[in-house]
Amino acid sequence: MRQPPHAAKLAIACLLAVCLDARAQSAVREFDIPAGDMKTAIDTYAAQSGAQLLYKVAEVAGLAGKAVRGRMTPEAALSRLLDGTPLRAVRDAADAVVIVRAAARPAARVAVEPRGEAPTVIVSGVRGGPEEARDRKRDADAMVDAVAAADIARLQGQNAAQAAQRVPGVQVQRYLEEGGAFAIRGLKQSKVLLNGLEVYGAKAQSGEANGRNLDLEDVPADVLAGVDVVKSAVASDVEGGLGGILNLRTRQPFDIKGSTANLTVKETYYEMAPGFGGKRRAQASGLISRRWTTGVGELGVLLNLAHAGSVFGLTEDEVQRPHSVGNYAGSGKTVTLPVGMFTGNGHNGERERDTHVAAFQWRPGAAISLYADYFDMHYLLDQRFQTARLYAGRPTSDYELWGDGNGDGGDNLRRGTFADSTMTTASVVGNEGRKIKLYDLGGQWGDGGRLTVKARLSRNETAVRNTLVEWGTYASIPMMSLAINDGAASHVSVSGVDLTDRVNFRPAYLLSIAADGTQKSTAATLDANVRLDRATLRSVDVGVRLNGYTRRAFGFVHEYCIDGCNGGTSLAAVDPALLYQVPAAQSREIGAYPAFAIAAVRQQAALRALYGLPAVDTTMPDYAQRNHERTTAAYVKFNFATDVAGKPASGNVGVRYVDTALHGDSYAADAAGALAPRASDSTRQDVLPSFNAKVQVRDDLVFRLAASKTVGQLNFSYLHAGLRILNPVQHDAEEGNPDLKPYTSRNVDLALEHYSGAKGMASLNLFYKLAEGFIQTVAETRTIDGEAYRVATYKQTGLSRIKGIEIAYRQFFDRLPAPFDGLGVQASGTFVDTQAPSSVAGRDVPLVGLSRNSCNVIGIYERGRVKAHLAYNHRSSFVATTSSSGAQGVPVFVKAFGTLDFAVGFDITRQLSLVLDGANMTGAHIEQYYGDTHHQMNYVPLNKRYGVQMRYLF
């Protein structure tokens, strides 16, 4: 492994110092509790510790507590007393310790757990969040990090991705100014679950329009009870997460004491790029939860509704992919330069998220609990933009090179002038829509004896619709100049033509794209826990999961040329109502110019009639695909407790067996070149062992060890049998490979965790992954219908090694004098090193989405009615994609960047609170480039946003 950066060394040293610090934050007491009846032991503990304890007599009846003797903290004493039993301790809002059965509260790992047993409380306030997250990490039987509801609320994230990015090891990639795709320890091949269930329909996360994951940007933060990131596999977990599992948890009625209701209303102001001004959007959420004790048992009902509207508006100058020109301008030199440059890429639009969560829980008696959940989410992104695309013509002798040289002996263009260039304008309207429904029924039976049984049945239905309509015009440019920058925006200018005059523009084309689909799945699970109470082997978990999943994709890509795509009739005679003069502030570089109006593009009928184009687009078989997957999984997991060198140790060892049968239907060219249906079938059996152990080195110090094998699923677009044109204007195409296999990884983790006081924590984690089967993009140029296309094909690579360090620290400084006793800090960092085959054939390109370094630092203040935080998030350079539009097979890198957010809250009354927040206060920007920083792609300033939130608790 390479040496960690100096910052990493310093952070590790600080962490170890904290871990080795004396246990000064918890008072040490003398305990003398004999082994025997659990009720008697708990009462004795309460008397000797002075702690307030709550428990149900029925839940502790028949259990025996271990002997606890010696000087130790109350927390350590209680942990020893309950060790090896199904009991665990949680704290309620009054800081009382509540003793519950372990099955009563969903474990921090993402196992299939029925809800409805937890007498836990949704904690308000900044400090409640870190405490809950810390408890989930400490109590988990795997390596887990979490973000609790209180943390999510105070960080004011728009969606689940922005909540998850605060977790060590999670890196989030922005999509139109919000968190979109994510990676766990550098791997995008990670699994998203909702309450432990698979949900489908992703675009950003999967990289395809109808993917087999859930996009975090779809889920508003207001409906989340927490986010768990599981980094070491457990046999009972759903397979499919190569890097790990990210589980989104929604609230349940038995999570809340008694009845409650709250309403949150927020208005956010978005600063937008020049030409779009600023806009305001409202967000609102409400929660009602009630519990009753009736003659048929305890009942709970919860309804959580959320509406989140947001806007975006950004402009950029996008330099196009580089290519080499020999004997540049007669100089005899080989020069690498861009194909051209797009200016005024004015992406603007709105997002709307409407989410409904309904939950019912019923505990008819002490032995049985039942639940029914419903999750409904509608996501719509509506965007439009207008851009001028300038393509370099004949190079002139007026140029300047960077002078740094390339591997081929050539140089890179820094500035140049081109004669006989061309320009197209594009007016674009695009929509992304997803409707997701999830039905979830389940229950648990356990009478306090040796056997506990859980059952679950779920149904997911997703409908996806993605459309893009683009109308283009064409103009000749006598002279064009390009200036390629590094660390600032690149520039383009034109001369010799009046771009404000419509007579210089001609209609060129209509591009119409649709990528629609549906996904349906039904899953059934049956799990059982058998308590053995032997000296070492404490219990055994067994289970089976059946899942039937069907995905359908359909759509089209139509390009209609008007008069040969560079028509002879100008726009001078076109109805002005169908045109729009793009203002100079929006075009950025070349001043005002005419283009088709967005309203006309959206409505389409008048433009289609004007140019004699079909009124309706037809579905094309090239883009039809059907996949059916049947999965049968079974597991066994042995839970153990023992001593290692005199220290208490516990954990699990297990194996998961997965049998997968996959059928695919698509279209491909036959021997005669005609399009014909093609079917493919495959079966696969995976044996996935796992081991997790933790050793209580000291009352406040935990050592963990984990090892496992995991499997990751492929995008279905990779498996398509034929060649498909993706964008005929940009000349992009791809050809799938049905023979590709799922990814696999063998993983080892080591961790050291130090817990101080009631809320403090520090941890150090070392991880190593040996992965196989990553996809490599092979780009080649092919002639399709007489045009040269960049075609991406896919093959799998050999072994990849991923190793790294995660550190985390959280502390509240309660012992400082007032008013500084409200201060706290939360920090985390991840440092990753990889040795992997290139993600692009013939080039040295890292794994997509992997930043070598990333960190989060959050300053916290909470005292009395005031709550505040200041959060900084940073990640180093990474590869964004290897298949961008117009640049198939050319890697696009993102330079390092960081953002600074804040929130300040004030409790006006016990029911009413006010929060002011802001995002990207430093005005950060994102700069992308093609492999070399002297081949800039774009330089995009990120916009700021400010919000005002009112929350009322009934």
CB 290 within 8 A of CB 304: no
Spatial separation of the C-alpha atoms in residues 812 and 320, rounded to whole Å: 49
DSSP 8-class letter at 117? -
Residue among 348, 344, 601 at smallest CA distance from 467: 601
**353, two tokens:** 């998220």
- Residue 802 gets the label, from left (phi > 0), alpha (psi -120 to 50) or beta, of beta
Tokens of 646: 């005199």
For residues 472-485, average pLDDT: 94
Would you call 539 helix, strand, or coil by DSSP? strand
pLDDT tens digits for range 390-420: 999 999 999 999 987 766 667 999 999 999 9
| 3-class SS letters over 588-607 | CCCCCEEEECHHHHHHCHHH
Kindly tell me if the per-residue pLDDT of 532 is higher than 80: yes
Cis amide bond preceding 819, omega within 30: yes
Q: What average pLDDT does range 427-440 have in this prediction? A: 94
**Does position 812 have pLDDT exceeding 80, yes or no?**
yes
Alpha-carbon dihedral of residues 364, 370, 371, 372, nearest 10 degrees? -100
Instruction: Provide the pLDDT for residue 701.
Output: 93
Least confident window among 93-107, 363-377, 483-497, 894-908 = 93-107
Q: Per the structure block, which two tokens stand in for 600? A: 């006309």
Farthest-apart Cα atoms in the chain, separation: 97
Q: Which residues contact 910 (CB under 8 A, 6 or more apart)?
A: 953
Length of the chain: 954
pLDDT (0 to 100) of residue 23: 35
Measured CA to CA, the distance from residue 395 to residue 329 in angstroms comes to 5
Mean pLDDT of 34-57: 79
CB contact at 8 A, 165 and 182: yes
User: Which distant-in-sequence residues (6+ apart) come within 8 Å of 397 by Cβ?
Assistant: 329, 330, 331
pLDDT, mean over the chain? 84
- The CA radius of gyration of the chain, in Å to the nearest whole number, is 30
Rounded average pLDDT over 83-112: 57
| CA dist list (Å): 749 to 61, 144, 641, 689, 803 | 38, 12, 20, 14, 10
Q: Which residues have CB under 8 Å from 812's CB, separation 6+?
A: 127, 130, 757, 759, 760, 823, 824, 860
pTM of this structure:
0.81
CA 696 to chain centre: 33
Q: What's residue 762's pLDDT?
A: 93
Beta carbons within 8 Å of 576's beta carbon, 6+ residues apart: none
The segment with the largest mean pLDDT, out of 98-102, 690-694, 848-852, is 690-694
pLDDT band at 886; cut points 50, 70, 90: low
d(CA 636, CA 528): 10
- Cβ partners under 8 Å of residue 503, min gap 6: 570, 571, 572
Q: With a cut of 70, say whether residue 496 has pLDDT above it.
A: yes
pLDDT, position 926: 87
* pLDDT for residue 42: 86
Percent of the chain's residues with pLDDT above 70: 89
Cβ atoms 64, 82 nearer than 8 A? no
What per-residue confidence (pLDDT) applies to 156? 56
Instruction: Tell me which residue of 560, 559, 558, 569 sits closest to 507, measured CA to CA.
Output: 569
C-alpha to C-alpha distance for 744 and 736, rounded to whole angstroms: 20
Instruction: Locate 375 and state its tokens.
Output: 């999750």
Unique residue bearing structure tokens 């002038």: 417
Query: Tokens in use for 608?
Result: 């289609």
User: How high is the pLDDT of residue 583?
Assistant: 87
Give the distance from CA 334 to its chain's centroid.
42
Q: Stretch 611-619: mean pLDDT, rounded?
A: 92
pLDDT tens across 852-880, in order?
A: 888 989 898 988 889 898 989 898 998 88
Q: How far is CA 494 from CA 271, 418, 474, 476, 501, in A?
A: 30, 10, 15, 10, 14
Does 28 have pLDDT greater than 90? no
Please give the C-alpha separations between residue 697 and each of 27, 71, 319, 703, 943, in angstroms, as whole numbers. Answer: 18, 16, 56, 7, 48
What's the angle, vertex CA 244, arms to CA 238 and CA 248, rounded to 5? Answer: 70
Q: What is the pLDDT of residue 722?
A: 77
pLDDT, position 360: 97
φ, ψ at 119 (rounded to 5°): -85, 35
Say whether pLDDT at 556 is over 90.
yes
Compute the average pLDDT of residues 910-929.
Answer: 87
CA distances for 935 relative to 244, 276, 403, 485, angstroms: 34, 28, 13, 8
User: Residues 6 or more apart from 489 whose CB is under 8 A from it?
Assistant: 317, 939
DSSP state of 573: G
Average pLDDT over residues 42-46: 83
CA 701, CA 231: separation in Å to the nearest integer?
20
Poorest-confidence range of 105-114, 201-210, 677-686, 710-719?
Answer: 105-114
- Sign of torsion over alpha carbons 331, 334, 339, 343: negative
Q: Which residues contact residue 551 at a Cβ distance below 8 angstroms, ignoring those fewer than 6 apart?
A: 200, 210, 212, 517, 518, 519, 625, 626, 627, 628, 629, 716
The tens digit of pLDDT for each residue in 648-702 reads: 999 999 999 999 999 988 887 776 777 788 888 899 999 999 999 999 999 889 9
| Residue ranges with strand state E in 185-296 | 191-194, 197-198, 224-230, 245-250, 260-271, 278-294
- The CA-atom distances, in angstroms, between 474 and each of 61, 151, 384, 451, 825 are 82, 52, 20, 74, 56
Sequence-ordered list of residues with C-beta below 8 angstroms from that of 295, at least 6 positions apart, any chain:
none
The residue-averaged pLDDT of 204-213 equals 71
What pLDDT score was predicted for residue 841? 65
Q: What is the mean pLDDT of residues 363-382?
A: 94
Distance separating alpha carbons of residues 732 and 885, to the nearest angstrom: 7
- Give helix then strand counts, H and E, for the chain: 11, 52
**What is the C-alpha separation between 65 and 203, in angstroms, rounded?**
51
Q: How confident is the model at residue 455, as a pLDDT?
A: 97
Residue 267 in 3-state DSSP? strand
| 434: number of Cβ within 10 Å | 23
- pLDDT tens for 134-163 read 777 888 888 888 877 766 765 556 677 777
Contact 510, 466 (CB under 8 A): no
Please tell me the distance from the alpha carbon of residue 348 to that of residue 591, in angstroms, as a whole number: 19
CA distance 453 to 111: 14
- According to DSSP, the residues that pair with 692 across neighbouring strands are 652, 706
Least confident of 239-248, 820-829, 838-847: 838-847
